[in-house]
Structure 1
């Protein structure tokens, strides 16, 4: 099964969040075709969670928490990741309720 280009996935994800009135921003524009995507969930309380896609044993690609903690530490981790992989996308989702919609059908 072929994967959706990263740029198209990001556009669809941002549109889905917009429909649900969940603010989200592109912090780093990665490679449109094959860039990896990181999602920073910011509950606006000084903390953050960083999600990445993983390859599961059954071949699926669920989202998993890469790290969570003080927002400054998450931002530093993102910067390290971007130095290692400049093609990576970073999307920040701001939700006091912790809504990120990564577990919604159609976003897998």
Structure 2
């Protein structure tokens, strides 16, 4: 069973703040099952957009995980804003979390990487 979106976002933000970085919810989506997009803002002003990975990246036993794929990497802010606007026209229930950090580290799992087991995000 997948963790509710509102709980996932809340936990993600707490982890960001614990690292000394900054995060904000730009768009609040459906609390139970809204897709979560992560907008990464770098110190030099470039941005990356990380979106939910397609379900084809998951094994059956991993169905509760939230994994991400990078859609845009180190581009200008208007390109990320335009991509998010397109996504919102398709899915009005999505979340957008903006994280100001040069390194996401272990904050989110990427589809190509092995999932981390920190006791919370593996649920």
Give the TM-score range, shorter chain: 0.7 to 0.9
User: Quick check: 1:36–1:88 contact (8 Å CA) kept in 2?
Assistant: yes
Deviates most, 85-94 or 66-75? 66-75
Q: TM-score, normalised by structure 2?
A: 0.76
SS of aligned partner of 2:51? strand
Q: Does 1:43 align with 2:49?
A: no
Gap regions ≥5 residues in structure 1: none
Cα 1:37/1:20, change in 2 over 3 Å: same
Rounded to whole Å, the distance in 2 between the matches of 1:22 and 1:66 is 22
Rounded to whole Å, the distance in 1 between the matches of 2:58 and 2:31 is 27
2:52 maps to 53
Gap regions ≥5 residues in structure 2: 110-115
Rounded to whole Å, the distance in 2 between the matches of 1:38 and 1:90 is 5
Instruction: Count matched residues.
Output: 106
Residues 41-71 of structure 1: per-residue CA shift (max 9 Å, x gap): 0003232111112121524452210122211
Correspondence 1:1-108 to 2 at 5 A? 2-54=1-53, 55=55, 56-59=57-60, 60=62, 61-68=66-73, 69-95=75-101, 97-99=102-104, 101-103=107-109, 105-106=117-118, 107=121
RMSD: 1.8
